Amino acid sequence: MSLLPLGRGASAPAALEPDDRYRGKWSTLSNTTLGVLLVTIDSSIVLISLPDIFRGIRLDPLSPGNTSYFLWMMMGYLVVTAVLVVSFGRLGDIYGRVKMYNLGFAVFSFFSILLSITWLHGAAGALFLIVMRIFQGVGGALLYANSTAILTDAFPPTERGLALGINQIAAIGGSFIGLVLGGLLGPVDWRLIFLVSVPVGVAGTVWAYINLKDKGVRTPAKIDWLGNATFAVGLIALLIGIVYGIEPYGGHNMGWTSPFVLGMMISGIVLLAVFVVIEHHVDAPMFEMSLFRIRTFTYGNIAGLMASLGRGGLMFILIIWLQGIWLPRHGYTFAQTPLWAGIYMLPLTVGFLLAGPASGYLSDRFGPRPFAIGGMLLASASFVFLELLPINFSYILFALLLLAIGLSMGIFASPNRAGIMNSLPAHQRGQGAGMTTTGQNAAMVLSIGIFFTLIIAGLSSSLHHTLFVGLTSEGVPRSAAARIAALPPTSSVFGAFLGYNPIQNLLGPTGVLAHLPAGHAAYLTGRSFFPRLISAPFAKGLHEAFDFAAVAMLVAAASSWFLPSRVRRSHIVEAGIAAIPVAGSAPTSPRPAEHLPDGHLPSRRGLSRAPGSSTVARAAASRRSAGDPSGDPRR
């Protein structure tokens, strides 16, 4: 018996037998995993390579007026992917997910080439790279928005956890692989960090066009231009406010009191509220609010958002901890710390790679709930134990805790995403996946702002006094020491993050070092002075950041309780697809999808699918809703 889709305006490829429907699934998995891996590696490869990039374009990112270049080089890619994934997921539902995905591979590869051949220097070079990174992020958003939906279409429900687990771990693991790649390639030639994506992107593009087949359900609809515009402008305004909130403002250590930051954030919130109103009054909304009537979808997204909120800033805080304090105290120069920070964080990646596929495979058999809850509880406990470590820790303990965090995130990610995707009607998978990814990507940007704010707040409480005392004790004149100590701690944190020698960067332009005894100057700019000076103030902010992350994981664990406790492996009816008898086949009585409240599709105009209604009546209703007045399901 063939399966025909039901749903508002839905259309699908020719009817497929179950065995044909999932043919080529492993090839699809390999291609979509490659795409997601490419996107996430490029999201983090720049972080470690920023010192080499700025040296290559001959720009000091810590000079007054240049900090915004540094922030946008770091955050612009994340912002654009967060903003566009819902729109691109919706376009995939309308025009075909594979078409959008293939376009993403081509766009990503093209702008990777442009990034690797730039000839500009100074501010012009920085602006060129930022703009090209934004367009590269457009390609990344096309890939990210549609890969999950393509996988969900390609795999049966009882195997989706494994497939999505591999895909999700590639997404999360890629962000840490990028750290090591950036540390290895950046010192050789900064252009290599962009050029390395080109052969992979070109090969992936060709392979995607040849290999991928669209098996999803399309939903012909008008594009919600007003909704897209208000959502994009609102979210961009909000995220810009977060980015500039990290920068100092006036006499303040951070910019959260800046009229510009407040104006952007308030405007963003207001526009997003208007967007919600719009989505309740348009025929084909970009954001299908009725999906939130599906309990699994709603709580799964809350859990994923909180996990991203707790995890997103972790990478930056750990890098600052390693580069600014631990690695210099263990014999590494500041210039060496970017590469070694990536290497020392490898246990985190190993944990992701080990746990993700295994958790996905097991959740297919035993349900996503226990694994999602267990992963988040383990993550929360790991953050608490990280807080108990001394600043100058034993690496064995640190590595074990990184491994535990990686395992916990891997255990959680696949069941969470599989539970969400299995709950969606087939014709809204691209849109639903985009909604999920947007929430998690926006949470990542917000998380960076929160973690940096907590760290800077901790440093601000005592770093000024500590720095003044430390400098004057080594012979720095009191006036110069007072001027440097009064600077916002952001410059010291950014300097450590970029692998610069913070004291050299602070004192060098003043000429003070040249007038100090050689021994004092060498000690001030050596590997031990700044790390010992900053350790105590940094510890306070670090503890607050870990407390925040632990609480976020507990909220994610509580939300995961509402994921399904088991997966039904028999008589599974795909969300939004009913078994309709085709000429010559025996009629069957389809069961309502288990995720739908009271057996109804979650849509204002959705098709009623109560257990007692007849198959022919449901098909007729579907035809009428799609504009066919005859209501004949066999036409």
Instruction: Tell me the three state secondary structure of residue 252.
Output: strand
Q: What is the pLDDT of residue 93?
A: 75
* Banded pLDDT at 598 (limits 50, 70, 90): very low
Percentage of the chain with pLDDT > 90? 12
pTM exceeds 0.75: no
Task: Determine phi and psi for 251, rounding to 5 degrees.
Answer: -95, 10
- For the chain, the first-to-last Cα distance in angstroms comes to 17
Report the C-alpha gap between 403 and 396 in whole angstroms: 11
Domain CATH number, residue 384 = 1.20.1250.20
* The dihedral formed by the CA atoms of 148, 149, 155 and 156, expressed in degrees to the nearest 10: 120
pLDDT above 50 for 604: no
| Contacts of 103 by beta carbon, 8 Å cutoff, 6+ apart | 139, 142
Report the C-alpha gap between 143 and 141 in whole angstroms: 5
pLDDT above 80 for 626: no
DSSP 5: E
| Residues paired with residue 252 on neighbouring β-strands, in sequence order | 249
Asked, for residue 289, whether it belongs to a domain, the answer is yes
Q: What is the pLDDT of residue 575?
A: 40
Asked, for residue 516, whether it belongs to a domain, the answer is no
**Least confident residue range of 56-60, 134-138, 461-465, 490-494:** 490-494
Asked, for residue 233, whether it belongs to a domain, the answer is no
Query: In terms of DSSP bridges, do strands 577-578 and 4-5 run parallel, antiparallel, or are they unpaired?
Result: antiparallel
Number of Cβ within 10 Å of residue 203's Cβ equals 13
* Domain range for 414: 4-224+282-459+539-562
> To which residue do tokens 């025909």 refer?
4
Report the C-alpha gap between 69 and 606 in whole angstroms: 48
* Pairwise pLDDT comparison (544 vs 616), residue with the higher score: 544
The tally of domains found in the chain comes to: 1
Q: Which residue type is seen at 445?
A: V
pLDDT tens per residue, range 484-527: 877 777 777 777 677 677 777 777 666 777 778 888 888 888 78
Report the C-alpha gap between 61 and 333 in whole angstroms: 20
**Least confident residue range of 253-262, 492-501, 544-553:** 492-501
* Banded pLDDT at 319 (limits 50, 70, 90): confident
Asked, for residue 515, whether it belongs to a domain, the answer is no
Task: Determine phi and psi for 6, rounding to 5 degrees.
Answer: -115, 150
Q: What is the pLDDT of residue 12?
A: 42
Burial degree of 188 (CB within 10 A; 0-12, 13-18, 19+): exposed
Asked, for residue 264, whether it belongs to a domain, the answer is no
DSSP 293: G
CB 383 within 8 A of CB 551: no
> To which residue do tokens 């526009």 refer?
271
Task: Write the Ramachandran bin of 367: left for phi over 0, alpha for psi from -120 to 50, otherwise beta.
Answer: left
Instruction: Tell me the three state secondary structure of residue 249.
Output: strand
Report the C-alpha gap between 389 and 385 in whole angstroms: 7
Q: Quote the strand ranges of 265-369, DSSP E.
A: none
Q: What is the pLDDT of residue 163?
A: 79
pLDDT above 50 for 368: yes
Instruction: Tell me the three state secondary structure of residue 4.
Output: strand
Asked, for residue 610, whether it belongs to a domain, the answer is no
Q: What is the pLDDT of residue 568?
A: 54
**Least confident residue range of 29-38, 199-208, 220-229, 322-331:** 220-229
Q: At what angle do helices 67-95 and 490-497 cross, to 10 degrees?
A: 70
pLDDT tens per residue, range 87-106: 787 787 778 888 888 888 88
For the segment 308-317, the average pLDDT, to the nearest whole number, is: 81
For the segment 197-206, the average pLDDT, to the nearest whole number, is: 84
Percentage of the chain with pLDDT > 70? 82
| Contacts of 261 by beta carbon, 8 Å cutoff, 6+ apart | 241, 244, 245, 249, 255
SS (HEC) of 518-582: HHHHHHHCCCCHHHHHHHHHHHHHHHHHHHHHHHHHHHHHHHHHHCCCCCCCCCCCCCCEECCCC
**Least confident residue range of 119-133, 142-156, 428-442:** 428-442
Asked, for residue 182, whether it belongs to a domain, the answer is yes
Asked, for residue 568, whether it belongs to a domain, the answer is no
Pair of tokens at residue 451: 């973690």
Supply the Cα-derived Rg of the chain in whole angstroms.
26
* Banded pLDDT at 266 (limits 50, 70, 90): very high
Q: What is the pLDDT of residue 379?
A: 93
Report the C-alpha gap between 558 and 75 in whole angstroms: 30
Q: What is the pLDDT of residue 509?
A: 67
CB 534 within 8 A of CB 325: yes
pLDDT above 70 for 631: no
pLDDT above 60 for 632: no
Report the C-alpha gap between 505 and 124 in whole angstroms: 23
pLDDT above 50 for 587: no
Pair of tokens at residue 115: 């990034």
Name the nearest CA neighbour of 68 among 80, 59, 81: 59
pLDDT, mean over the chain: 76
pLDDT above 90 for 400: yes
For the segment 43-65, the average pLDDT, to the nearest whole number, is: 80
Report the C-alpha gap between 526 and 63 in whole angstroms: 22
CA angle 283-288-289, nearest 5°? 110
For the segment 389-402, the average pLDDT, to the nearest whole number, is: 93
Instruction: Tell me the three state secondary structure of residue 11.
Output: strand
* Banded pLDDT at 64 (limits 50, 70, 90): low
Distances (CA, A) of 515 to 474, 476, 504, 510: 12, 9, 14, 10
Report the C-alpha gap between 355 and 235 in whole angstroms: 33
